[in-house]
A and B are shown apart, each in its own frame.
Chain A
């Protein structure tokens, strides 16, 4: 059986920062933090599934404001002009790119699903479509990042 090494927190942070700075106009700095204050309420949720020599999912949650910044940076418009469908599309594509770069760390062959995006809530009570049947997955990595005080978390969940 192929030996699979789980990517480190530092590697996930590096991928997130590279994707952030490469695809967003006026990206600003995405910094790694140890955790979030209670005041932070993540509201936009996305995931993408990896299957093959490693099986699990990459789950991203962020505040609405961070999601608007992602969408604004990708669509080249101001945050106030971002429509809901643009926000969903942009967070989905952001998740797809991060998921693809994480997938590349696992032994080939691995496949990537299309991303799923949901809004408002937590993964526990508001799962993006397609994530309902992933209750057997356990979290193996979680990193917390911030852009101008707005939270963005990336979790790696393994299907055991």
Chain B
């Protein structure tokens, strides 16, 4: 017997959680699905459409005030960013939970990023299993899956007039204390079939064909718009700069992307990645070669497919992965 929650009871449970916690859920903002803190449960949209921006932004914000500097008569003072209350991230898809687990390696590694770590610890992840295949998605090739409950605290799978409830962690179990659950013999639909990318062992050809002309061919059509980095659940590069307003100075951390020509340019003008080819290759190499080298084999892509769908010139990471593997097969050691 599975545990079950009706749609009505789910909303009642979430409304109760809203009393003492921040609930972050998919809502419509100017026509786009985005994760935002809600005030009322009616704001939540239940849609198979992925959020335009992955919910990593709850932990790693587009703009984050690292601290504030106050210049007073008595001297300069640093005022740390005050932490928020406990939160529930509701409706997160398995690929995006996987994305967070990937960047946990970066932000929770020593020394832990204080803001990210605190938010991560204070947030419970309530996932929604994918019933339908999504455009561009290839999560099952990247070590996850459309209904993969790992990396979540609670997983909900739509069935009948409600959801089958899977408790994954103690944190999830505690959050469910106030939920009205019932036993049900309902069965979840079989997971959808997703597109495939032959990612197993991809680091090897990525390293071997690092200087292959393939990269300049792909880069020829890249226009450097960086949309791939902004919609990516695992892109974590950032800029740190000061912003001054109304007598106070904020040190801001903002998202940044490796496709910009200025990203690596040092004062004085030297640029280690002076052309589009080097920059385009950096994004793929970071995810498919450097990540597994730096973090015990972890690939830096969760297969959410956002970059595939959004790229204006159809550069497709699934294609890059299979092209690299093909190069490996064509140039197999010992082949004629």
Same complex origin of A and B:
no
